[in-house]
Amino acid sequence: MSESRILNAALRGKVVSADEAAAFIKPGDNVGVSGFTGSGHPKEVPQALARLITAASERGETFRVGILTGASTAPELDGELSKVNGVSLRMPFQSDPDCRNRINAGDAWYTDVHLSQSAQNVAWGHYGKLNVALIEVTAILEDGRLVPSSSVGNNPTWLELADKVILEVNASMPAQFEGMHDIYTVALPPHRKPIPLVKSDDRIGEPYLRVDPNKVVAVVETNCLDRDNPFKAPDEDSRKIAGHILEFLQHEVKKGRIPADLLPLQSGVGNIANAVMAGLIDGPFNNLTAYTEVLQDGMLDMLRSGKLVHASSTAVSLSRKAFDDLVANIDEYRKHIILRPQEISNHPEIARRLGVIAMNGILEADIYGNINSTHVLGSKMMNGIGGSGDFARSAYLSIFMTPSLAKGGALSCIVPMVSHVDHTEHDVQVLVTEHGLADLRGLAPRQRAKLIIENCADPKFRPALTDYITRAGKTANGQQTPHLLGEAFDWHLRALRGESM
Amino acid sequence: MSESRILNAALRGKVVSADEAAAFIKPGDNVGVSGFTGSGHPKEVPQALARLITAASERGETFRVGILTGASTAPELDGELSKVNGVSLRMPFQSDPDCRNRINAGDAWYTDVHLSQSAQNVAWGHYGKLNVALIEVTAILEDGRLVPSSSVGNNPTWLELADKVILEVNASMPAQFEGMHDIYTVALPPHRKPIPLVKSDDRIGEPYLRVDPNKVVAVVETNCLDRDNPFKAPDEDSRKIAGHILEFLQHEVKKGRIPADLLPLQSGVGNIANAVMAGLIDGPFNNLTAYTEVLQDGMLDMLRSGKLVHASSTAVSLSRKAFDDLVANIDEYRKHIILRPQEISNHPEIARRLGVIAMNGILEADIYGNINSTHVLGSKMMNGIGGSGDFARSAYLSIFMTPSLAKGGALSCIVPMVSHVDHTEHDVQVLVTEHGLADLRGLAPRQRAKLIIENCADPKFRPALTDYITRAGKTANGQQTPHLLGEAFDWHLRALRGESM
């Protein structure tokens, strides 16, 4: 069965084992791998590479590589390579526990960049030469074109830039993925043209990846599903957050600012995002569309319900149950899903043109509306900024969502000053917690602070926040954004000592 | 002579005095005024409005208005209205001392937004209704179309949205401005299309503003030049910064990343920017272009030298001497200058498509590459973010420039942690001081810190910065971005006490 996935004779002649393929990767190489949010990453060659690294280590040799991906991958890639300390450089997003530990131990350099910019950054040589592309595909056509897998990510760029290409052809991916993708690539300046996409369901490219067959050094046949991307039913806080957002969107429609079928939705990953999707299924809006970077269970549910008529994404990242549904009904789903390169799915030009409604989770917000998406207590990397900046800066609505409390109530997610800034006051329009929603549009910093404290902070932390801003207002050196720099991080310092904020 | 500037009979019939025109503005109104970087702002009606406000105050009445502009204006607008405390809300950028004082005293709300977003924010109603548009123009054609003045700014949007329109027709502006502008407006979602601009000198609109003549309540004839926008010869530090940038651009060309005639230049205002322009006149690059928001003396010099073949901007903001040169040679300059609405001059879609080389000044940077462009010691507003975010996020190169020291050497412009973040680590590629340039592309935070301390910080502050990061590396809770939150702002606290950092 798997043989039928490699119709090109020349490439069929390059089929080797994962171990033989991994041997093409050399110490110090930069490897551009497929993968976005635990989907479409190579499954076997990374593990073979980890074995090579272990063997080198046992010989007393250093064998480390740079790993450039689309976004997060899964244990068999980021996990295995991090366990053997084989990653010298990682970009642009990760969420694997072992990978995160290496980054925070100082063992791996991690550059946390906007996902839409990652391809061009590599093309411009920010990371040096791209030596190898290691890409999972669903099939290889007779003419050598490639049917992409469950994510597109940066694959077109990696295939174009790399000296050597290794393909994993994954027979577990449904052959009917063919036709679901839309591959369009962007030139570098001064040769760029307008991207001709004006609706989320516009097709502007072709459904295949292209590769110079002479660069392909190895083809590996695999048969392994993507990880079972966890999906939890929305908890109480998430349902409340979703409720506030739905109410707000109804208000926006009523005001005549957006059409009754809204504008294309962008939704980050996780529990709250899924709760919003669940809320939309039961909500008053119809004929919805999505222009987003990852299609998760919640959005598949929306497609099935008929409320969502189209989703543009760069990846499908599903639980096993949802994936089975996708495969079982793929001829129907394929009419409603387009997977694009992340340079297009996340392109600010398109986000601003379409006027997306961007909804992303965060770690903490401050009273003036600055957002920390990435760093725990200022220094420790959680995952990365991902696509949130691509969307939020250019969206019609940039909505950031968080429960008001963390660590069982010990920590407030609303603080006097965030310990790291990923989204500045200039880019944050709406903040939502389970307590309520703060519409910050058009407001000056002190006006925002009042709303955020009253509507979003947990009641038990409101008096301390109000006290901070009141005293800052009396003593700070200016009233635009009153701060007490001597105690702005006292809340975080208490948390670092293991105390309640 | 001035009469010949109003060729439309109906509008000629609406000519009144500035005082009569100002009477159309009511307490609580939002007034959209023209003006960008001290050019093209209305000259007489704002002063008449200030007199009305004073009179109201003397009667014990409150008379305050919201002032929405393109960017900064000049003393006769922001200054006069602030002196009488007549401004309740100001957006999106200012640089007037009286206006700044009102903001920092807490007397006026100031919302500091990306200049490219200011028009759409008002269209979406973030500030409520736009009651009045008060726009300076050069002339009114027989059919009622308007020849814009020395800046375009947000004028097309203000003219479209306002209930009432007041025009100042300024006979001091050269009649030959006609044809220099290119007015193209952007629809709101879901009706947006690709902006068909692929080169800085593309014309995509028409050279006139349009207004519904029935909305025009008053026309005022004026005869007053823009302010003499100060131009200082570059100082030693600025020349050194310019030298580092020129050397770096040569390096980029040599690497084959950009063409020999570079990519379109964007340049912020001020001494350093002018030094870079002066350096380019003597430098090795030819056939340069600019895609920027304001054309100052330095860029006019470049046009005159022939090194710069075209400049796209939204304003010409010149010294009197340079303005005289512009007027004397306007038929020649008009072939090389296009003035656009700021939604287009600053549009991220275009900045990314063209791959601009963005060069902007700052207040302070931190060792990890975060930038504070706006807030003195965390709380006090200086001017605003202006267009720096529009360009930096989407540029081919985002270069930020500052002398390493301020206040006669007492303050370091490179600090452990910036006291306000306007540009995050994700958006800052190059930092330059007189000591050198740090190319941060592709680097993780600790790698950036090493370069910034070694290349950019003043030598007398380097040991303390190195000490900070060394101790943070030993004690922080993660090695991605090591910070000591208990002392991150100690440098600013010393400055607040009047000590050296």
pLDDT in tens, B63-113: 999 999 999 999 999 999 999 999 999 999 999 999 999 999 999 999 999
**In the numeric block, which tokens belong to residue A447?**
């006006």
- For chain A, the average pLDDT equals 96
d(CA A247, CA A437): 10
From residue A50, give the alpha-carbon distance in Å to each of A79, A167, B104, B181, B435. Answer: 10, 17, 58, 60, 43
Q: Tell whether B303 and B415 lie within a shared domain.
A: yes
A405, containing H or E segment: strand A405-406
Averaged pLDDT for residues B347-357: 98
d(CA B481, CA B452): 14
**In the numeric block, which tokens belong to residue A393?**
């800066």
Only one residue has tokens 């310990």, namely A419
d(CA B298, CA B336): 15
Position A233 scores a pLDDT of 85
d(CA B190, CA A291): 13
d(CA A119, CA B150): 40
**pLDDT over 60 (residue B1):** no
- Residue B157, judged by CB atoms within 10 A of its CB (0-12, 13-18, 19+), counts as buried
**pLDDT over 70 (residue A3):** no
Give Cβ neighbours of residue B294 (< 8 Å, ≥ 6 apart): B36, B37, B71, B269, B313, B314, B315, B316, B317
Do B261 and B288 meet the contact criterion of CB atoms below 8 Å apart? yes
With respect to residue A184, please indicate whether it lies within any of the assigned structural domains. yes
Verify whether the Cβ–Cβ distance A376 to B478 is below 8 Å.
Answer: yes
Q: Please tell me the total number of residues recorded for chain A in this structure.
A: 501
Give Cβ neighbours of residue B306 (< 8 Å, ≥ 6 apart): none
d(CA A80, CA A85): 9
Optimal mutation site among A114, A372, A471, A480, interface B, most CBs of chain B within 10 A: A480
Do A103 and A94 meet the contact criterion of CB atoms below 8 Å apart? yes
Indicate the residue of B110, B125, B128 with minimum beta-carbon distance to A257: B125
- SS (HEC) of A27-48: CCCEEEECCCCCCCCCCCHHHH
Q: Tell whether B143 and B273 lie within a shared domain.
A: no
Verify whether the Cβ–Cβ distance B381 to A481 is below 8 Å.
Answer: yes
Verify whether the Cβ–Cβ distance A485 to B493 is below 8 Å.
Answer: yes
What sections of A329-421 are H helices per DSSP?
330-333, 342-345, 348-354, 388-394
> Which chain A residues in 149-208 lie under 8 Å from chain B, judged by CB atoms?
188-190, 192-196, 198
Indicate the residue of A379, A472, A489 with minimum beta-carbon distance to B482: A379
**In this predicted model, what pLDDT tens digit does every residue of A437-451 receive, in sequence order?**
999 999 999 999 999
Only one residue has tokens 């096993």, namely A320
Do B105 and B68 meet the contact criterion of CB atoms below 8 Å apart? no
Indicate the residue of A353, A482, A489 with minimum beta-carbon distance to B379: A482
For residues A177 and B476, the model is more confident at A177
B165, containing H or E segment: strand B164-170
What sections of B124-235 are H helices per DSSP?
155-161
What sections of A396-436 are H helices per DSSP?
none
Verify whether the Cβ–Cβ distance A393 to B426 is below 8 Å.
Answer: no
**pLDDT over 90 (residue B274):** no
Averaged pLDDT for residues A356-362: 97
From residue B82, give the alpha-carbon distance in Å to each of A66, A178, B133, B168. Answer: 56, 64, 19, 21
| A407 near B CB under 8 A | no
Position B3 scores a pLDDT of 53
d(CA B400, CA B364): 10
Give Cβ neighbours of residue A352 (< 8 Å, ≥ 6 apart): A394, A395, B192, B348, B349
**In this predicted model, what pLDDT tens digit does every residue of B228-247 receive, in sequence order?**
887 788 899 999 999 999 99
Q: Tell whether B142 and B246 lie within a shared domain.
A: no
Verify whether the Cβ–Cβ distance A485 to B478 is below 8 Å.
Answer: no
Only one residue has tokens 């048969």, namely A223
Verify whether the Cβ–Cβ distance A349 to B354 is below 8 Å.
Answer: no
With respect to residue A342, please indicate whether it lies within any of the assigned structural domains. yes
With respect to residue A490, please indicate whether it lies within any of the assigned structural domains. no
For A349, name the nearest residue in chain B, comparing CA atoms only: B349
The count of structural domains within chain A is 2
With respect to residue B469, please indicate whether it lies within any of the assigned structural domains. no
Averaged pLDDT for residues B371-379: 98
Residue B467: other Cβ atoms inside 10 A: 11
Query: Annotated catalytic residue: which of B44, B293, B343, B364?
Result: B293
Indicate the residue of A111, A190, A378 with minimum beta-carbon distance to B263: A190
| A123 near B CB under 8 A | no
Position A458 scores a pLDDT of 98
**In this predicted model, what pLDDT tens digit does every residue of A18-44 receive, in sequence order?**
999 999 999 999 999 999 999 999 999
Q: Tell whether A278 and A209 lie within a shared domain.
A: no
DSSP classification of residue A201: T
- Host domain of residue B111: 9-222
**pLDDT over 50 (residue A1):** no
Verify whether the Cβ–Cβ distance B422 to A420 is below 8 Å.
Answer: no
**In the numeric block, which tokens belong to residue B53?**
């406000």
| A393 near B CB under 8 A | yes
Verify whether the Cβ–Cβ distance A104 to B479 is below 8 Å.
Answer: yes
| A102 near B CB under 8 A | no
**In the numeric block, which tokens belong to residue A243?**
């409720």
Q: Which residues of B touch A479 (CB under 8 A)?
A: 103-106, 379
With respect to residue B415, please indicate whether it lies within any of the assigned structural domains. yes
Q: Tell whether B197 and B246 lie within a shared domain.
A: no
Do B25 and B160 meet the contact criterion of CB atoms below 8 Å apart? no
Q: Tell whether A52 and A103 lie within a shared domain.
A: yes
Q: Tell whether B359 and B281 lie within a shared domain.
A: yes
Last-in-domain residue among B187, B222, B257: B222
Q: Which residues of B touch A354 (CB under 8 A)?
A: 189-190, 192
Q: In which band, very low, low, confident or very high, does the pLDDT at B2 lie, cut at 50, 70 and 90? A: very low
With respect to residue B176, please indicate whether it lies within any of the assigned structural domains. yes
Q: Which residues of B touch A116 (CB under 8 A)?
A: none
Q: Tell whether A275 and A336 lie within a shared domain.
A: yes
Q: Tell whether A193 and A304 lie within a shared domain.
A: no
Dihedral over Cα of A86, A88, A94, A97: its sign:
positive
Q: Which residues of B touch A377 (CB under 8 A)?
A: 477-478, 485
Determine which of A339-343, B70-74, B274-278 has the lowest per-residue pLDDT on average: B274-278
Q: Which residues of B touch A114 (CB under 8 A)?
A: 426
Do B333 and B176 meet the contact criterion of CB atoms below 8 Å apart? no
> Which chain B residues in 291-320 lie under 8 Å from chain A, judged by CB atoms?
none
**In this predicted model, what pLDDT tens digit does every residue of A220-272 receive, in sequence order?**
999 999 998 877 888 999 999 999 999 999 999 999 999 999 999 999 888 89
How far off is chain A from B62, nearest CA to CA, in Å?
21
Position A2 scores a pLDDT of 45
Averaged pLDDT for residues B422-436: 98
Residue B410: other Cβ atoms inside 10 A: 13
Give Cβ neighbours of residue A464 (< 8 Å, ≥ 6 apart): none
Strands (E), B223-361: 265-267, 288-291, 308-313, 337-339, 357-361
Task: Give catalytic status of residue B160 as yes or no.
Answer: no
Q: Tell whether A175 and A300 lie within a shared domain.
A: no
Q: Which residues of B touch A423 (CB under 8 A)?
A: 424
Report the share of chain B in percent with pLDDT over 90: 96
Indicate the residue of A353, A394, A482 with minimum beta-carbon distance to B194: A353
Q: Tell whether A214 and A314 lie within a shared domain.
A: no
d(CA A73, CA A349): 26
Position B4 scores a pLDDT of 79
The C-alpha R_g of chain B, in whole angstroms, comes to: 23
Quote the Cα angle for A185-B430-B195, to 5°. 40
**In the numeric block, which tokens belong to residue A75?**
């244990």
With respect to residue A1, please indicate whether it lies within any of the assigned structural domains. no
With respect to residue A2, please indicate whether it lies within any of the assigned structural domains. no
Optimal mutation site among A424, A447, A489, A499, interface B, most CBs of chain B within 10 A: A424
Q: Tell whether A54 and A113 lie within a shared domain.
A: yes
d(CA A246, CA A276): 8
DSSP classification of residue B234: P
Give Cβ neighbours of residue A15 (< 8 Å, ≥ 6 apart): A6, A218, A219, A220, A221
**In this predicted model, what pLDDT tens digit does every residue of B38-75 receive, in sequence order?**
999 999 999 999 999 999 999 999 999 999 999 999 99
Q: Please tell me the total number of residues recorded for chain B in this structure.
A: 501
Do B242 and B234 meet the contact criterion of CB atoms below 8 Å apart? yes
Verify whether the Cβ–Cβ distance A477 to B376 is below 8 Å.
Answer: yes
Q: In which band, very low, low, confident or very high, does the pLDDT at B271 lie, cut at 50, 70 and 90? A: confident
| A448 near B CB under 8 A | no
Phi (first) and psi of residue B421, to 5 degrees:
-110, 120
3-class secondary structure, A132: strand
For B119, name the nearest residue in chain A, comparing CA atoms only: A442
**In this predicted model, what pLDDT tens digit does every residue of A120-161 receive, in sequence order?**
999 999 999 999 999 999 999 999 999 999 999 999 999 999
What CATH number corresponds to the domain at position A299? 3.40.1080.10
| B498 near A CB under 8 A | no
Averaged pLDDT for residues B472-479: 93
